[in-house]
C-alpha cells in the first residue's frame, strides 16, 4: 500500500493553483484588515480545503514551498527564543510531564474508541490518534502492520482541526493575557545589539534560510524541516553580534503557504471510505481539544505560566502551526516548543513498541 495520503488524480494545473492562491491571498488580506485570528494561516487553509472538496481530489503543493515555509517559521521561532526560559523549564518538570501523560492517555483512549466503534484494527487506530509526529507515524505505519492510508487521514484530520480551532481559542480568549507582548513584531529578543542595514539583513536571512534547508535535508531526525532550521537559527542568533530581523511579510508568506499545504492534504475520497472513523475522530478531537484546554489551564494554575503558553504547549500536535500562533500572538516560544518537543520525542520512542504489542494481540 502506498504511503501517500491517498491516490489523487494528478497535480492541479498551474491555472487552478494560481486561482486558489489569489483567492486565498485576498481572503487573508481581508481577514487581516478586519483583525480576524491568525488570518495568514487560517484563511489559506480553509480556502484550500474548500478547493479540494470542489475539485474532488487532492494534490500537494510543490514540496519546496512547504519546506521553505517550515524553515521560515522555525527561524522566526528561534529569533524569539529565550534560552533562560528553557533552563527554567526544569522547575516545571513534574507538571509538564503530567500534562504530556494526560494528553497521551486521552489520545490512546480515542484510538481505542475508534477501534471498537469503527471496526478499524487497533494498530491503525492507535497510530492515527497519537498527537504529534504525524508524517513520521504515517511513514512508519506499514512496517508496524497498520493501514497507512487510514493513519494519514486520521492524522491530517486532527492536524487540520487543531490548526483551525486552537488559534481561534487562543486569539479570542487568551492573547490579551499573555505575558510577552508584540503580536506582529518578530524581531530577535537577544538584548540591545545593533541592527544590520536592511539589505545586509535580508541577505543574511536568505543565506541562513538556504543553509538551514540544505542541512535539514541531510539530517534524519523527526520534524527535521522544522527542528534543524530552528537549532541552526538559534545558534546564529545567539552568537552573531548584530540583531537579525525576519521581515513581517516573509513570515506572513510562510504562514500563507503552510496553510495551503495543510489544507491541500485533505483527502475527500479516502475520508468517504472511512466516514465512520472520520466522524468519530472529529468528535473525539473536539473532546481532546477541550480536555487539553483544561489540562493547559491546570498547568497554568500550578506553574503560573501565562494561559496562552500553557494552552499552546498542551495542544495535541500541530507543532509548526502552534509555534506560528505563539509567535503571532505573543507567548513563551521556548516553553511551548519544549512541551511539544518532549511529547513528540516520547511518542517516537514509545510508539513502535506499543504498536507492535497491539499487532501481536491482533494476530494472537
Residues 93, 245: Cα–Cα separation, whole Å: 32
Residues 126, 110: Cα–Cα separation, whole Å: 8
CA angle in degrees (0–180, nearest 5) for 230-341-88: 85
β-sheet bridge partners, residue 320: none
Contact 42, 260 (CB under 8 A): no
pLDDT recorded at residue 81: 60
DSSP codes of every residue in 14-54: HHHHHHHHHHHHHHHHHHHHTT-TTHHHHHHHHHHHHHHHH
Residues 53, 57: Cα–Cα separation, whole Å: 7
**Which of 20, 283, 299, 21 is CA-nearest to residue 165?**
283
pLDDT recorded at residue 151: 81
- Give mean pLDDT in consecutive 10-residue pieces for the chain, a chain of 364 residues: 42 84 93 77 85 80 83 81 62 78 82 86 82 65 70 80 82 58 39 78 91 87 76 85 85 88 74 79 89 85 84 80 78 79 70 63 50
Residues 85, 185: Cα–Cα separation, whole Å: 19
**147 conformational bin, left if phi > 0, alpha if psi -120 to 50, beta if neither:** beta
Judge if pTM exceeds 0.85. Answer: no
Q: For the CA atoms of the chain, what is the radius of gyration?
A: 20
pLDDT recorded at residue 1: 37
Cell numbers of 60, please?
500537494
pLDDT recorded at residue 170: 79
Contact 81, 234 (CB under 8 A): yes
Q: Is 10 exposed, middle or buried, given 0-12, 13-18 or 19+ CB atoms closer than 10 A?
A: exposed
Residues 222, 228: Cα–Cα separation, whole Å: 10
Cell numbers of 115, please?
477501534
Contact 347, 130 (CB under 8 A): yes
Amino acid at each position: 500500500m502506498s504511503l501517500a495520503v491517498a491516490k489523487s488524480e494528478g497535480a492541479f494545473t498551474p491555472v487552478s493553483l494560481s486561482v486558489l492562491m489569489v483567492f486565498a491571498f485576498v481572503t487573508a488580506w481581508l481577514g487581516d484588515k478586519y483583525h480576524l485570528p491568525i488570518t495568514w494561516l487560517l484563511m489559506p487553509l480553509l480556502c484550500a480545503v474548500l478547493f479540494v472538496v470542489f475539485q474532488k481530489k487532492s494534490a500537494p503543493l510543490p514540496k519546496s514551498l512547504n519546506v521553505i515555509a517550515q524553515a521560515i517559521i522555525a527561524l522566526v521561532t528561534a529569533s524569539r527564543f529565550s534560552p533562560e526560559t528553557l533552563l527554567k523549564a526544569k522547575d516545571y518538570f513534574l507538571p509538564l510531564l503530567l500534562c504530556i501523560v494526560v494528553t497521551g492517555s486521552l489520545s490512546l483512549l480515542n484510538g481505542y474508541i475508534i477501534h471498537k466503534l469503527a471496526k478499524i484494527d487497533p494498530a491503525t487506530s492507535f497510530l492515527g490518534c497519537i498527537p504529534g509526529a504525524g508524517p513520521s507515524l504515517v511513514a512508519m505505519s506499514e512496517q508496524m502492520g497498520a493501514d497507512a492510508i487510514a493513519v494519514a487521514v486520521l492524522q491530517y484530520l486532527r492536524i487540520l482541526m487543531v490548526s483551525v480551532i486552537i488559534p481561534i481559542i487562543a486569539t479570542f480568549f487568551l492573547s490579551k493575557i499573555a505575558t510577552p507582548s508584540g503580536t506582529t513584531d518578530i524581531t530577535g529578543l537577544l538584548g540591545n545589539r545593533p541592527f544590520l542595514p536592511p539589505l545586509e539583513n535580508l541577505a543574511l536571512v536568505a543565506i541562513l534560510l538556504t543553509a538551514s534547508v540544505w542541512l535539514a535535508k541531510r539530517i534524519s531526525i523527526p520534524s527535521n524541516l522544522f527542528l534543524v532550521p530552528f537549532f541552526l537559527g538559534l545558534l546564529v542568533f545567539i552568537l552573531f553580534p548584530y540583531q537579525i530581523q525576519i521581515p513581517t511579510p516573509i513570515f506572513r508568506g510562510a504562514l500563507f503557504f503552510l496553510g495551503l499545504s495543510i489544507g491541500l492534504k485533505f483527502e475527500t475520497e479516502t475520508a468517504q471510505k472511512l466516514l465512520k472513523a472520520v466522524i468519530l475522530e472529529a468528535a473525539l478531537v473536539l473532546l481532546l481539544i477541550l480536555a487539553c484546554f483544561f489540562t493547559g489551564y491546570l498547568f497554568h494554575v500550578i506553574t503560573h505560566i501565562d494561559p496562552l503558553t500553557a494552552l499552546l504547549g498542551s495542544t495535541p500536535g500541530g507543532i509548526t502551526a502552534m509555534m506560528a500562533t505563539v509567535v503571532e500572538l505573543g507567548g513563551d516560544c521556548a516553553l511551548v516548543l519544549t512541551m511539544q518537543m518532549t511529547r513528540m520525542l516520547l511518542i517516537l520512542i514509545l510508539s513502535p513498541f506499543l504498536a507492535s504489542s497491539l499487532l501481536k494481540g491482533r494476530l494472537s
